[in-house]
Amino acid sequence: MENTRNYSYFPGCTLKNKALDLDRYARASAEALGFTLEEIPEWQCCGGEYPLGKNEVASKLPSIRALANARDAGQDLVTLCSACYNVIKQVNDDMQHDEDIILRANNYLKEDGIEYHGETKVVHYLEILRDVIGWDNIKKAVKKPFTGKKIGAYYGCLLLRPGKVLQLDDSENPQILEDFIKAIGGTPVIYAQRNECCGAYTMFEDESIPKNRTEKILSNAEDMGADFLVTSCPLCRYNLLKNKGDSKLDVIYFTELLAEALGLKEEAC
């Protein structure tokens, strides 16, 4: 496919450290499907968690700088990571609607010559697959379909909530990952725990919480016949694998499955 669009790309910390392969799979798949990820220069960590304190502005500045960079490039801002997506999109919403945060953030950014008012559109990579490329075109591009594989989508919290701000999918009954599974030739497995929290953020407070949450998620998916799980959150993937215990289920990042289905996995490594 010919390139149809360029996107400003915010990879986030995990995909630049422990998950370098997931970044490479995403880039290779994007080129094969007709769009390009242009990494934002000198981006900084988004913090991985949206700051709930109303007086907390400084920790939002890295996200605002990335958003302003994308705006100045005339591009939408795309990320692969559910946590990055969640933080940046909520910060962007603040910069559209919260006059106090808009004022104080722009006062901070004056020295950098930046003024920002929420002009950038924030999208997840999955939204590009769904809304720009289209599932039918992805099906046509698949060379190694996951025929016969029963795949459970694991959404977790950050990709879907708060629903009024993120607006990626129905937060109670999402379909985007199931549609992705169908597009690469697999069979989606619906199970009750697919959009419940894995407890990853609680691991430093009480390790029993993520262990118990992981056990419920994996056992539920296994009971429903899943061969493995797919997720778009590196933190969820790490937590589920770290606490999987005796479970035989693997947890695979969606860009790895996409690259494999497109026949690109080996050359992207």
Q: Can you give the pLDDT at residue 4?
A: 63
| Backbone φ and ψ of 3, nearest 5° | -60, 130
Q: Can you give the pLDDT at residue 23?
A: 93
Cis geometry, peptide bond prior to residue 11 (ω within 30 degrees of 0) = no
CB half-sphere exposure, 223, CA atoms < 13 A? 10
User: pLDDT tens, 13-43?
Assistant: 987 877 788 999 999 999 999 999 999 999 9
Q: Can you give the pLDDT at residue 269?
A: 64
| Backbone φ and ψ of 130, nearest 5° | -75, -50
Q: Can you give the pLDDT at residue 2?
A: 47
Parts of the chain with a pLDDT under 70? 1-4, 204, 268-269
- Asked if 165 contacts 242 with a C-beta cutoff of 8 angstroms, the reply is no
**Residue with the two structure tokens 């094969």:** 32
Residue 80 DSSP label: S
Packed helices 208-223 and 234-242: angle between N→C axes, nearest 10 degrees: 90
- Asked if 122 contacts 89 with a C-beta cutoff of 8 angstroms, the reply is yes
* 246 CB neighbour count, 10 Å cutoff: 7
Q: What is the rounded distance in angstroms from the CA atom of residue 147 to the CA atom of residue 221?
A: 19
Q: What is the largest CA-CA distance in the chain?
A: 57
Q: Is 106 helix (H, G, I), strand (E, B) or coil?
A: helix
Q: Can you give the pLDDT at residue 120?
A: 98
**Residue (of 236, 245, 241, 251) closest to 196 by Cα position:** 236
Helix ranges restricted to H, 124-247: 125-127, 135-141, 163-166, 176-183, 208-223, 234-242
Average pLDDT, the chain: 94
